[in-house]
Structure 1
Amino acid sequence: MTNLPKGSIVALITPFHEDGTINFEKLKELIEWHIVNKTDGILILGTTGESPTLTHEEDDDVVACAIECANHRIPIIVGAGSNSTQTQLEKSLKYEKMGADGLLLISPYYNKANDEGMIRHFTTVADQVHIPIILYNIPGRTGCTISLNALKQLSKHPMIQGIKEASGDISYATNAATLLNDDFVMYSGNDDIIVPMMALGSSGVISVLADVLPKTTHDIVFNCLNGNYKTAQQLQLDNLDLIHDLFMEVNPIPVKEALNMMGFHVGKYRLPLYEMSEDHKAKLEATLKARGLIA
């Protein structure tokens, strides 16, 4: 049976100082906040964590900080993916040794792969690590999909224990759900369809919304897990405007702006990410006010 957590796994932002360096004290503060507010797991070095703009040394420092701060109180999943299989393997082995509880591995963006290449991209790592792997299917970012044929074969590997399904394609997710069992689980990778994904048998969500509303995101998932779909549905719909606003520009620009508006002082972003338009800022601010998240 998989050791991966059920519930809301936050795709955590990486906070920066004004000079663009990583704010490790703020990172620890955010982790503590998530533990208090019922987040069930923390993903670091994901897309939301701006991993493409961090150096390898910064990656290592963020992982070390998060694992030390969490101190086994909450699972730490680390994004170790790369479009280079060898780089992905080296990162995965390093993060396992550092104490990561699991790994998130993305499909090989840009260079892509045929089915056999895709399978070997993941199994090369799975054959050498001893912590759970979550596959990451997000064709909107990578330009390629983990085919259902490849997924069927990958799901049988004992160390490949889940998939973050972020295509937004319910048909794909429905077919992927036929592969779910005690040893292979699915997480919604889209905050706007948490409840439909839970109805298909997902174990939770890997969430951007949880950066702003950790307890609410946890409650959506656990109401589903406990069969209270009516309550979960209402929570999903009540927060749909905020979910949409958090993606009105490229993630994680809006969620960082939201956290700054809420007083968390998480800093800006690294290029090529850039400032939100004033119109979008005003819309986001109005939504946060309507939700009671800022005065």
Structure 2
Amino acid sequence: MTRRDIVTAIPTSFHPDGTLDAEGSRSIFRYVAQSGNEGAFVLGTTGEFPAIDDAEFETLVAAALDELGGAMRVIVHVGQPSAFEAVRRVRIAKQLGATEFAALTPYYLAVTEDAVFDYFSEVSEAIGDGTLFVYVYPKRSGVEVSPELLTRLATLPNVIGAKVSELSLDELAAYRAAVPDGFVLYTGADRELVAAGEAGAQGVVSGVSSVLPGPFRALAQAADSGDPAAIEQAQTAVDDVVSVIGGDMARMKAAYRSMGIADGVCRMALVEPDASAIAEIERVLAAYGS
């Protein structure tokens, strides 16, 4: 059977004054733990990691491992502009018991492929016996990862896969053709669980599934059944949810507020949904919520 992991990218909750809402974040973790999804992606883009300091990182990783660890895999994102900073976060997370990690390529300044390899070599060495996903997101990081570079990164002893965001299915297929068998590819495109699988991916890292996991689970089950009508129906539901919530953390948090899970907002400069958007969020919650 084709592997179709659903790994939930989890938002971080903040108070209106910008301070960390630790209890609200714990509530989100508890909610996600009940989703039935295979894993959690903590403190990635959806978690607003660029706005998190080391003390907050420690608080959130501890809470995630506590609330999610018994229910699903927990992949802790440690990517930073420099290997020095990323390694520091690896050490914090390892002390708390984390064993699975992801790291965005170094970002902001232009780097060579050799510099990217050196960065991941240092992060890999710090992780030791744990596992590491390369996080490829050139539209945010400014750093391209060629199939040849990803193949080179796959030679590092604990690099087991890559999370790929905002690249085409053709680019995903090019990665698949280049990397070794057994190397895991996750797409960051919420709606492409099935399509990305056909291009060689083993699953999706989905922020939208942190709010409404049901349509994603239904799509995976439909794809496993091979029933075209069931797949089409399930894909339509996923497309509807993604069109309303998308990769928009402010909308995700509006949904949490509506569901009574957490009252938090975003810390980063994201636009709050207006009344019409709230109405659409309420619609999909009613249609697809449990």
TM-score w.r.t. structure 2 length?
A: 0.88
Q: 2:188: which partner in 1?
A: 189
Pair 1:198–1:266, CA change in 2 (3 A): farther
Q: Could you tell me which runs of 5 or more consecutive residues in structure 1 were left unpaired when the two chains were aligned.
A: none
Pair 1:100–1:6, CA change in 2 (3 A): farther
Q: 2:90: which partner in 1?
A: 92
Within 5 A, what are the aligned runs for 1:87-126? 87-126=85-124
Pair 1:146–1:222, CA change in 2 (3 A): farther
Matches of 1:33 and 1:284, distance apart in 2: 18
Look up the SS of the partner of 1:239 in the other structure: helix
- Percent identity for Structure 1 against Structure 2: 24
| Aligned with residue 252 of structure 2, among 243, 252, 255 | 255
Compute the displacement of 1:168 (Å). Answer: 3.1
Pair 1:59–1:229, CA change in 2 (3 A): farther
- 8 A contact 1:43–1:77 mirrored in 2: yes
Matches of 1:220 and 1:156, distance apart in 2: 33
Aligned-residue CA RMSD in angstroms?
2.4
Pair 1:33–1:265, CA change in 2 (3 A): closer
Look up the SS of the partner of 1:127 in the other structure: helix
Letter in 1 for 2:110: K
Please say if 1:65 is aligned against 2:63. Answer: yes
Compute the displacement of 1:165 (Å). Answer: 1.1
- Corresponding pairs, count: 286
Pair 1:222–1:102, CA change in 2 (3 A): farther
Compute the displacement of 1:233 (Å). Answer: 4.3
Summarize deviations over 1:109-168 as a string: whole Å, max 9, x none: 211312111111212211332211111111221222211111111122221111111123
Look up the SS of the partner of 2:126 in the other structure: coil
Matches of 1:221 and 1:101, distance apart in 2: 26
Pair 1:164–1:271, CA change in 2 (3 A): closer
Pair 1:120–1:223, CA change in 2 (3 A): farther
Please say if 1:79 is aligned against 2:77. Answer: yes
Pair 1:237–1:125, CA change in 2 (3 A): same
Look up the SS of the partner of 2:185 in the other structure: strand
Matches of 2:153 and 2:222, distance apart in 1: 30
Within 5 A, what are the aligned runs for 1:6-85? 7-85=5-83
Pair 1:133–1:57, CA change in 2 (3 A): same
TM-score w.r.t. structure 1 length?
A: 0.87
